[in-house]
Amino acid sequence: MKKKRVVAKEIYTLADLKDWHDVDPPIRLGVFGDPVEHSLSPRMQNAALKHCKIDMQYARFQISPDELREAIDLIRKPEFVGVNLTIPHKIAALRLLDLADENVRRIGAVNVIKVESGKLHGFNTDGRGFARAIREVFSVDLRDLRVMILGAGGAARAIALQCAKENSERLVIANRSFEKAQKLADQLRDFFAGPKVLGPVARLQAIPLEEAAIRFQIGNVDLVVNTTPIGLNRGDPSPIPTRVLAPHLMVYDTIYSAARTPLVSAALEAGARGANGLSMLLHQGALAFEIWFQREAPIEVMRTALL
């Protein structure tokens, strides 16, 4: 009897996972999110798989929060290599892992799962992806920088931990809910206990996400990083207005929905350097590929696919 040919879908669901019909090449990787249709990960990961002649593909999975447990259980099937997790699953997936690496435990969020002998091993590549992105776009290492992070959520925690581990000169965390910024700073206090203080300012500080407080810090900061969603939607303002920014700054927006996000535009207008989050997306994806396949990711192929 002739075998029925199954056509690949743009987006898979929990129902598909439960009643799996493979396509050619077989789906062994994917991203779980809600919403997920805008994810650029399939584009770069599929380009990498093809380039490396790995006979499998990476797909989008629309999974709601109440479906996450079942969906994650279903990828234990030995054929699955792993998945990425995006909004809103990075924190909820933590309790569904069998093993979590040190980064995941400290950050409290997971963005990469690798399936190994039916066990789910969690990783977080956002911090290292960020460090590689900063090195690439501004030709500088985090250890040389005084950094201000806007936000204190999952991405901010990954970036703050990376700055701490790389011994950044200074770290300022600015958040709408000040207590969350304070809590994050407290968790990192040990890393910043050393004497590497420049001038009268504290090495580690939490501040409210308010213009006056940010203005006060700008002269003692080299790199500003936005991890809030301000700028994601059309018509959003910049999270920091041009009048507060200064020409000496490097400004990195983790948002990549436009080449010139509102913050990047404000930075350029102020005479500063600015970049959007596409490079971080690329590098965190390349690190995920390296975790899954234990081989170097074809970074230029992935970059071309993203652009």
- What amino acid positions are annotated as catalytic residues? 90
Q: Tell me: does residue 208 bind ligand NAP (CB under 6 A).
A: no
Tell me how far, at minimum, the Cβ of 176 lies from ligand NAP, in Å.
3
Residue 71, SS3 per DSSP: helix
Q: Tell me: does residue 159 bind ligand NAP (CB under 6 A).
A: no
Q: Tell me: does residue 81 bind ligand NAP (CB under 6 A).
A: no
Long-range contacts of 86-90, Cβ-Cβ distance < 8 Å, separation of 24 or more: 86/31, 86/32, 86/33, 86/36, 86/39, 86/41, 86/111, 87/33, 87/34, 87/35, 88/33, 88/34, 89/32, 89/33, 89/34, 89/63, 89/65, 90/154
Of the candidate residues 89, 103, 126, 214, the single one contacting ligand NAP (CB under 6 A) = 126
Question: CA–CA separation, 157 vs 144, rounded Å?
Answer: 19
Give the residues across from 208 on adjacent strands: 175
Q: Tell me: does residue 224 bind ligand NAP (CB under 6 A).
A: no
Question: Using CB atoms, what's the residue nearest to ligand NAP?
Answer: 153
HSE (side-chain half, CA atoms, 13 Å) at 251: 28
Of the candidate residues 209, 225, 240, 267, the single one contacting ligand NAP (CB under 6 A) = 209
What is residue 22's DSSP assignment?
-
Q: Tell me: does residue 160 bind ligand NAP (CB under 6 A).
A: no
- Give the DSSP H or E segment for 31: strand 27-33
Tell me how far, at minimum, the Cβ of 10 lies from ligand NAP, in Å.
21
Asked whether 194 and 226 are in contact (CB, 8 A), the reply is no
HSE (side-chain half, CA atoms, 13 Å) at 203: 19
Letters for 22-51 (x = contact with ligand NAP by CB under 6 A, - = none) are ------------------------------
Q: Tell me: does residue 288 bind ligand NAP (CB under 6 A).
A: no
Of the candidate residues 153, 218, 246, 260, the single one contacting ligand NAP (CB under 6 A) = 153
Q: Which is nearer to ligand NAP, 255 or 270 (CB)?
A: 255
Of the candidate residues 175, 205, 217, 238, the single one contacting ligand NAP (CB under 6 A) = 175
Tell me how far, at minimum, the Cβ of 193 lies from ligand NAP, in Å.
25
Q: Tell me: does residue 58 bind ligand NAP (CB under 6 A).
A: no
Of the candidate residues 113, 230, 245, 267, the single one contacting ligand NAP (CB under 6 A) = 230
Question: CA–CA separation, 244 vs 196, rounded Å?
Answer: 26
Tell me how far, at minimum, the Cβ of 34 lies from ligand NAP, in Å.
13
Long-range contacts of 142-145, Cβ-Cβ distance < 8 Å, separation of 24 or more: 142/166, 142/168, 143/167, 143/168, 143/169, 144/168, 144/169, 144/222, 145/169, 145/170, 145/222, 145/223, 145/250
Of the candidate residues 255, 263, 270, 291, the single one contacting ligand NAP (CB under 6 A) = 255
Contacts with ligand NAP: how many residues (CB under 6 A)?
Answer: 25
Q: Which residues bind ligand NAP (CB under 6 A)?
A: 90, 126, 151-156, 175-177, 180, 209, 227-230, 232, 254-256, 277, 280-281, 284
